[in-house]
Amino acid sequence: MPGKKPLLHRFHAWRYKHISKTTFIYFLAVLTGLLAGLGAVLIKNITHIIQLLLEGKLVENYRYGFYFLFPIIGLAITVLIVKYVIRNPLSHGVPMTLRAISKRKGLLKNYQIFGSLLTAPITVGFGGSVGLESPTVVTGAAISSYLSRIFHMDQANRTLLLGCAAAGAMSCIFKAPIAAIIFAVEVFSLDLTLLSLMPLLLASLSAILTSYFFFGSDTILPFELKDAFTIGDFPYYMILGVVAGLVSVYFSKAYFKTSKLYKRWDSALVRLLVAGGSLGILLFLIPPLYGEGFDMINELLDGKAVNALGETFFNDYLDNVWVVIALLAGLVFFKVIASAITFAGGGIGGIFAPVLFMGSVMGNCLAKIINNLGLNGVYISETNFTLVGMTGLMAGVLHAPLTAIFLIAEITGGYGLFIPLMVTAAIAYGINKYFLPHSVYGMELGLKGELITHDKDQAVLTLLNVNDVIESNFIRVRPEMTLGEMVKNAVAKSARNLFPVVNEDDELVGVITLDDIREIMFDATLYDTTRIGSLMHAAPEYIYLESDPAKVVMRKFQESGAWNLPVIKDGKYHGFISKSKLLTAYRRMLVSFSRK
């Protein structure tokens, strides 16, 4: 008697018979949101425990010394865990998830489920100047990828579940379920249709219920709107939008330039020591850069800028408002550098919290400048500018203006600042988009043409795998072959009318078609005297497999007018791509993509 089928196989058989595909997607969305929420709870609580363990009398008495020491220890532990426990490289959350969508059909490695869970709390708990949001997103995304594999989801639904994981993570962290859905749509370029909206909604809902179960009504940014918006403040919010746009450009450029600077050292140990030492010095001199920085944001929202700055070397001068303004401006300048150094040293985290930190400090600093310029009858709310500043910088750096608007609107518990939120986000986003075509999350992929966007044609070409349309059933011929040898050994045995001409190293030197020899291939007198090298011609264009994405391949077909183009891999002939097969694959991918 044959043994029973595995339990999972029996479950699949039962599911296909009794549960519709749509209903099962809803179930997986709820499960994904729940697990992403639990991941957020674990990461936050582990970080909090580490911070509590590190805070004690020893730290109180020698605070400045530990500001220097702890980040180096945290980076060292993180690097050791990655090398000896995880044994695989860990990339940074959202960019890695975007890469998985565009290049790996939404598949993430299983170790990424616990990779960020182990390393991000140590990086941040020991003072790394990064956030926990991206690690939480990638933890949820890796879980959803695993679920999609064991439950046989196709690429479109796998991508949707990744979006559900992102929505769940953000919903749990900020208790902002609408902003979380918009975040998934904007950052992961999901189509907001009825088919995708319900799963995102269910994932966001299950995650926020998880947050309430574990955290109660506490929020990461508790805020109550006190100062109402007046139309007279509108020009100043436009100024805030311009400043936020310019600072967002600085953020992106400084982030990548600092990262590139520390990549000069190939040795991970040297890079750890140099970056860890640099970060330690920076935090020793500017303690507010330590960790995520939400405590400082909340102090600024309470109107306690001096308390927010903490213990500094300038304590004796903090009664001068311009000294406070200068220190706040310094925080805006150095926060992104501290974040980039943390990553360069091997730390694991995200940039979402640093963006909020810089945005809040920038808004508070600008409000203080305006209020102390001595303008007659001018006073603007510093707390409102602190809040709206976060929106402006988030809209610019992340290229997610709607997420920025709704996140801050939900945090305030109302829409009293909706107009300033909209104008600041729109201006900041427009300025950043003018100077930088992609967000920090998508910059690397975007420059390679591998980023999924809301441009459906571009997205389909990005998802299209060139390897899938390469044909290799062409008989190779050599330039020194005679016409007779080609007719006997190639033409007579091939079903194709195209022949690649290669040398002894298998390098493509030309192509020859039946049309090139049609008039002479039945003239036996030419068989022994005519060489293929005299009949071949260059291809109208060449496709380089390592560097040409589908978008470039499509453009080469359009510009050359050819129906077949040769593919070169590692400098050698690899096959041909036909226009008809490429267009067929494009149409199929477009249909699949449109079902998301």
pTM, two decimals, is 0.77
Shared-domain flag, residues 252 and 169: no
Q: Which is nearest to 244 in space by CA: 144, 161, 330, 365?
A: 365
Shared-domain flag, residues 283 and 424: yes
Count of Cβ atoms closer than 10 Å to residue 572 Cβ: 13
CATH code of residue 429: 1.10.3080.10
Q: 324: domain range?
A: 231-451
Cα dihedral 85, 91, 97, 100, rounded to 10, equals -80
Cα dihedral 28, 30, 33, 35, rounded to 10, equals -70
Shared-domain flag, residues 291 and 187: no
Distance, CA of 319 to CA of 251 (rounded, Å): 30
Distance, CA of 97 to CA of 145 (rounded, Å): 10
Count of Cβ atoms closer than 10 Å to residue 19 Cβ: 12
Shared-domain flag, residues 355 and 492: no
Domain boundary among 421, 451, 481: 451
Number of domains comprising the chain: 3
Residue 150 pLDDT: 86
Residue 46 pLDDT: 92
Shared-domain flag, residues 84 and 133: yes
Q: Hey, what amino acid is at 57? A: K
Domain boundary among 174, 190, 215: 215
Shared-domain flag, residues 78 and 196: yes
Which DSSP string corresponds to 522-573? T-GGGTTT-BGGGT-B--S--EETTT--HHHHHHHHHHH--SEEEEEETTEE
Residue 447 pLDDT: 45
Shared-domain flag, residues 397 and 537: no
Contact 175, 211 (CB under 8 A): yes
203 domain-assigned: yes
Distance, CA of 120 to CA of 348 (rounded, Å): 5
Q: At what angle do helices 579-594 and 155-174 cross, to 10 degrees?
A: 40
222 domain-assigned: no
Shared-domain flag, residues 107 and 245: no
Shared-domain flag, residues 243 and 199: no
Residue 313 pLDDT: 73
225 domain-assigned: no
Identify the segments of the chain with pLDDT beneath 70: 1-5, 12, 56-67, 91-93, 100-106, 191-192, 413-414, 442-464, 589-596
226 domain-assigned: no
Contact 148, 106 (CB under 8 A): yes
Contact 136, 43 (CB under 8 A): yes
Shared-domain flag, residues 373 and 467: no
Mean confidence (pLDDT) of the chain? 83
Domain boundary among 432, 451, 470: 451
CATH code of residue 502: 3.10.580.10
Distance, CA of 14 to CA of 401 (rounded, Å): 44
224 domain-assigned: no
Q: Which burial class, exposed, middle or buried, applies to 137 when counting CB atoms under 10 A from its CB (0-12, 13-18, 19+)?
A: buried
Residue 362 pLDDT: 96
pLDDT tens-digit series, residues 53-71: 877 654 555 555 566 788 8
